[in-house]
Amino acid sequence: MFLNNLWFVLIALLWIGYFVLEGFDFGVGALLRIVGRKEKGRRVLINTIGPVWDGNEVWLLTAGGATFAAFPEWYASMFSGFYLALLVILVCLIGRGVAFEYRGKGSTDTWRARWDWTILISSWALPVLWGVAFGNVVRGVPLDADHEYVGTFLDLLNPFALLMGVTVLLLVLTHGGVYLSLKTTAQVRDRAQAFTLRLAPFAIAAMAVAVVWQYLIRGPVLSLAVGLAAVVALAVAWALTRVSRDGWAFVLSALSTGLLVTSWFLAIYPNVLPSTLDPAWSLTIENAASTPYTLTLMSWVAIAFVPLVVGYQAWSYWVFRKRISVRHIPDSPGATAQESPQTSSR
């Protein structure tokens, strides 16, 4: 059971890393036309995440692969039950990635506007869909005695899951706004800061309601305590943004995101996918796990390669750590900027 517990914790850590890192770049994409407004402003926003957004998605791929290998029954039941929702998520991820790469390949305003809308729509849809998906994981789904999903797509759109979708969207928008306040200057930064200050109270309120509702559905007290700590961390991030302590505000918004995801996994443990029909039919870290040999082999592979991935990603963030302004953006994607320390000109 040690390896079962270990891989449950590792998968939780992978999802925490994904929501913390991809969370702010979803937020930047969702704010593209709100904070960016004009063409150079939008290119500033895209360049703040240009060097890192694809690296952030490695956490999602690793989390999915680890779940498939360590808990194959969890993977199978979740994908069969959430098939349509996960298909939409996949389409949005592909469309968003293509938009980042192709936006700078054309020279007309129409071309760029179409890709901007692709980024915008997918960046709004993905946090909602992930929130609904994890809301259902926490609440539980109708699994029968064979651990097969016997509900419908509409069963996934229950009030708790929809609240989780709205909560994750508001959190991502706030996290993205705080990141933009840290990474930009002048008018773009001022708009990002003003948007964050207006939106954060709604995110704090939604998260507080979701955390208490989660406790009433699933418990335990530790999950409630960690969830409330996430609410407090977001409130502190909001207060720090008001006094322009951008670096610490980003640390606190990232901490809030990580704590909220941690509370989800604490709420379901030792289950990995609770059944709403009969608790005895739930998938647990015991009946959903792979063989001890598989888990042992996976552990050695993780020890060898995870430090390399984390080290490379940390180095990328360090290299592209400076703020970006419209002065760093060339007049056209192919031209040279007056000051261009770290831009990709997408």
The per-residue pLDDT for 343 is: 46
Q: Please count the structural domains in the chain.
A: 1
Q: What is the distance between the terminal CA atoms of the chain, rounded to a whole angstrom?
A: 48
Domain harbouring 32, CATH code: 1.20.1630.10
CB 252 within 8 A of CB 233: yes
Residue with tokens 């261009």: 340
- Kindly calculate the radius of gyration of the chain based on its CA atoms and give it in whole angstroms: 20
Please indicate, yes or no, if residue 81 is contained in any of the structural domains.
yes
Provide the domain limits for residue 208.
Answer: 1-275
Its pTM stands at 0.91
- Please give the distance of CA 93 from its chain centroid, rounded to a whole number: 12
Instruction: Please give the C-alpha separations between residue 215 and each of 61, 264, 280, in angstroms, as whole numbers.
Output: 29, 10, 20
User: CA-to-CA distance for 21 and 316, rounded, in angstroms?
Assistant: 13
Q: Which residues of 41-64 are buried (b: 16+ CB within 10 A; e: fewer)?
A: bbbbbbbbbbebbebbbbbbebbb
Please indicate, yes or no, if residue 284 is contained in any of the structural domains.
no
The per-residue pLDDT for 344 is: 47
The per-residue pLDDT for 148 is: 87
For the record, the structure tokens of 35 come out as: 């904070």
CB 70 within 8 A of CB 11: yes
Selection from 107, 73, 122 nearest residue 333 by Cα: 107
Please indicate, yes or no, if residue 89 is contained in any of the structural domains.
yes
Tens of pLDDT, residues 100-120: 889 888 888 889 999 999 999
For the record, the structure tokens of 144 come out as: 């029968």
Please indicate, yes or no, if residue 310 is contained in any of the structural domains.
no
Please indicate, yes or no, if residue 292 is contained in any of the structural domains.
no
The per-residue pLDDT for 151 is: 85
CB 35 within 8 A of CB 180: yes
Tens of pLDDT, residues 14-24: 999 999 999 99
Please indicate, yes or no, if residue 342 is contained in any of the structural domains.
no
Please indicate, yes or no, if residue 267 is contained in any of the structural domains.
yes
pLDDT-flagged residues of the chain (< 50): 341, 343-345
Selection from 18, 126, 143 nearest residue 78 by Cα: 143
**CA atoms 17, 48, 340, 117: torsion sign:** positive
Please indicate, yes or no, if residue 320 is contained in any of the structural domains.
no
The per-residue pLDDT for 345 is: 45
